[in-house]
Structure 1
Amino acid sequence: MTHSKRSDALSLHPDRLFSSSPDKRALASALYQQVKDLPIISPHGHTDPAWFAGNARFSDATELLIKPDHYVFRMLFSQGISLDQLGIKRRDGQAVETDNRKIWRCFAEHYHLFLGTPSRLWLDHVFAEIFALDRVLCAETADLYFDSINAALATEDFRPRALFERFNIEVLATTESPLDELPHHRSLRDSDWDGRVITAFRPDPVVDPEFEGFADNLATLSQLSGEDCQQWQGYLAALRQRRRYFKEMGATSTDHGHPTANTADLSASDCETLFAKILSANFSAADAELFRAQMLTEMAAMSLDDGLVMQLHPGSFRNHNAQVFAGYGRDKGADMPMRTDYVSALKPLLDRFGSEPAFSLIVFTLDESVYARELAPLAGHYPCLKLGPAWWFHDSPEGMRRFRQQTTETAGFYNTVGFNDDTRAFLSIPARHDVARRMDCRYLAELVADHRLTENQAAELIVELSYSLAKRAYKL
Structure 2
Amino acid sequence: MSKPLNLHEDRLFPTDPVQRGVARRLYGEVANLPIISPHGHTDPEWFATDTPFSDATSLLLAPDHYLYRMLYSQGVPLEALGVGSRKGASPADPRAAWRLFAGHMRLFRGTPSAIWLNHVFAAVFGFDVALEAATADFYFDRIGELLATPAFRPRALFERFNIEVLATTESPSDELVHHQAIRDSGWRGRVVTAYRPDPVIDPEHEDFWVSLDRFGRLSGQDISFWNGYLEAHRVRRRAFMAAGATSTDHGHPSAATADLTPVEAEALYHRILDGVWSKEDAELFRAQMLTEMARMSLEDGLVMQLHPGSFRNHNANLYRSFGRDRGADIPQATDYVRALKPLLDRFGAEPGFSLILFTLDETAYSRELAPLAGHYPALKLGPAWWFNDSPEGIRRFREQTTETAGFYNTVGFNDDTRAFLSIPARHDVARRVDCGFLARLVAEHRLDEDEARELAVDLAYNLAKQAYKLAGPPP
TM-score normalised by L of structure 1? 0.98
Partner of 2:61: 66
2:419 corresponds to 1:399: no
Instruction: State the Cα deviation string for residues 262-310 of structure 1 (Å, max 9, x = none).
Output: 0000000000110111111111100100000000000000000000000
CA distance in 2, matches of 1:110, 1:216: 40
Task: Give the share of equivalent positions with the same residue, in percent.
Answer: 68
3-state SS of 1:255 partner: strand
Alpha carbons 1:314, 1:365 under 8 Å: kept: yes
Partner of 2:473: none
**Aligned residue type for 1:32:** Y
- Spell out the pairing of 1:72-471 with structure 2 (5 A cutoff): 72-93=67-88, 96-471=90-465
Alpha carbons 2:313, 2:329 under 8 Å: kept: yes
**What is the number of equivalent residue pairs in this alignment?**
470
CA distance in 1, matches of 2:149, 2:184: 25
The answer to which of 370-379 and 217-226 deviates more is: 217-226
Partner of 1:3: none
Instruction: State the Cα deviation string for residues 16-57 of structure 1 (Å, max 9, x = none).
Output: 000111110000000000100000000000000000010010
CA distance in 1, matches of 2:354, 2:319: 34
**Aligned residue type for 2:104:** H
Partner of 1:57: 52
CA distance in 2, matches of 1:239, 1:90: 31
**Aligned residue type for 1:45:** G
**Aligned residue type for 1:254:** T
CA distance in 2, matches of 1:143, 1:362: 44
Alpha carbons 1:97, 1:103 under 8 Å: kept: no
Q: Which runs of 5+ in 1 are unaligned?
A: 1-5
**Aligned residue type for 1:264:** A
Alpha carbons 1:222, 1:228 under 8 Å: kept: yes
Quote how far apart the aligned CAs of 1:8 are. Answer: 1.1
CA distance in 2, matches of 1:192, 1:214: 35
3-state SS of 1:386 partner: strand
3-state SS of 2:156 partner: helix
Q: Match for 1:22 among 9, 17, 23?
A: 17
Quote how far apart the aligned CAs of 1:96 are. Answer: 4.3
CA distance in 2, matches of 1:384, 1:348: 14
3-state SS of 1:404 partner: helix
Runs of 4+ in structure 1 off by over 6 angstroms are none
CA distance in 1, matches of 2:376, 2:277: 34
Quote how far apart the aligned CAs of 1:192 are. Answer: 1.4
Alpha carbons 2:79, 2:92 under 8 Å: kept: no
3-state SS of 1:442 partner: helix
CA distance in 2, matches of 1:120, 1:169: 22
**Aligned residue type for 1:335:** D
- Aligned-residue RMSD, C-alpha: 0.8
Alpha carbons 2:58, 2:82 under 8 Å: kept: no
CA distance in 1, matches of 2:349, 2:433: 32
Quote how far apart the aligned CAs of 1:385 are. Answer: 0.2
TM-score normalised by L of structure 2? 0.98
**Aligned residue type for 2:12:** L
CA distance in 2, matches of 1:453, 1:213: 50
**Aligned residue type for 2:82:** G
CA distance in 2, matches of 1:84, 1:167: 32
Quote how far apart the aligned CAs of 1:92 are. Answer: 2.9
3-state SS of 1:314 partner: coil
**Aligned residue type for 2:13:** F
CA distance in 1, matches of 2:412, 2:227: 37
CA distance in 2, matches of 1:400, 1:473: 19
Instruction: State the Cα deviation string for residues 50-109 of structure 1 (Å, max 9, x = none).
Output: 00010010001000000110001000000000011112222134x844310000000000
CA distance in 2, matches of 1:23, 1:129: 28
Alpha carbons 1:215, 1:279 under 8 Å: kept: no
Partner of 2:5: 10
CA distance in 1, matches of 2:209, 2:387: 32
